Amino acid sequence: MRLAVLSESSADEAAIRIIIDAIRGEATESVPSLDLRSRGWPSVERILPVVLKHLHYNTDAEGLAVVVDSDDSTIHQPDHEQSEIFLECRLCRLRNIVASVQAGLTPVVNRSPLKCGIGLAVPAIEAWYRCGVDPQINEAAWVRHLQSQSITYTRRSLKLAVYGTERPNIETATRFAIDSANRLSDNLQLLTRLFPNGFGALARDITDW
């Protein structure tokens, strides 16, 4: 499969591709997307329509995976999928963008619609990277944090635990992201169990392809 990946950094995109390959049980082929100079949630949300149109009209991409951090926003829940778009949920917002943009695209001869998979890293992708290392890190714990209960970690402590610094350079971030993704590829069941809604949504999308 020809796959593009969009996330909050190129380091995370490298890790996400490894994890998706593990979900699919086969290697994907990289499709260059747009050269993004700024990242983070606002940038991903803003650029997603442009990326979708670019991939549809200008590439032979078959799929697009998008993963963003939840930070302190509403965590995706199964009941969101049974109601109208839950705009406080970043995953729902991205799904809404994808549906809206794809509805307005002109079909391209001999091209199937782009398959899209969306995930939400709770509260940040570094939590996924710590999965299987620190058993106290999971979606349920972060829900308790959002309810003002005390837990053992913060977004800052996650970065420190993964990279040894709050501000890793891209080389350091990429090395640790890839190492973590390779380890997680052997234990996707644990990642799904501890992050059932954010990672689980991505896994279900990819599996449905």
Can you tell me which residue has the tokens 């109601």?
Answer: 83
The pLDDT value given to residue 116: 97
The candidate with the shortest Cα–Cα distance to 32, out of 66, 61, 11, 7, is 61
Q: Percent of the chain scored above 70 by pLDDT?
A: 95
Per-residue pLDDT tens over the stretch 85-115:
567 899 999 999 999 999 999 999 888 899 9
**What is the C-alpha to C-alpha distance for residues 195 and 128, in angstroms, rounded to an integer?**
8
* Per-residue CA distances from 142 to 64, 84, 120, 179, 200 (Å): 27, 24, 13, 24, 16
Is 166 strand, coil or helix? coil
The larger pLDDT score, comparing residue 38 to residue 66, is at 66
* Per-residue CA distances from 139 to 77, 78, 86, 145 (Å): 11, 13, 18, 10
The pLDDT value given to residue 38: 59
**What is the C-alpha to C-alpha distance for residues 161 and 179, in angstroms, rounded to an integer?**
14
The pLDDT value given to residue 36: 67
Spatial neighbors of 45 by CB under 8 A, at least 6 apart, are 68, 90, 93, 94, 97
Question: 69 falls in which pLDDT band (50, 70, 90)?
Answer: very high
Per-residue pLDDT tens over the stretch 110-136:
888 999 999 999 999 999 999 999 999
Question: 46 falls in which pLDDT band (50, 70, 90)?
Answer: very high
Prediction pTM value: 0.93
The pLDDT value given to residue 76: 75
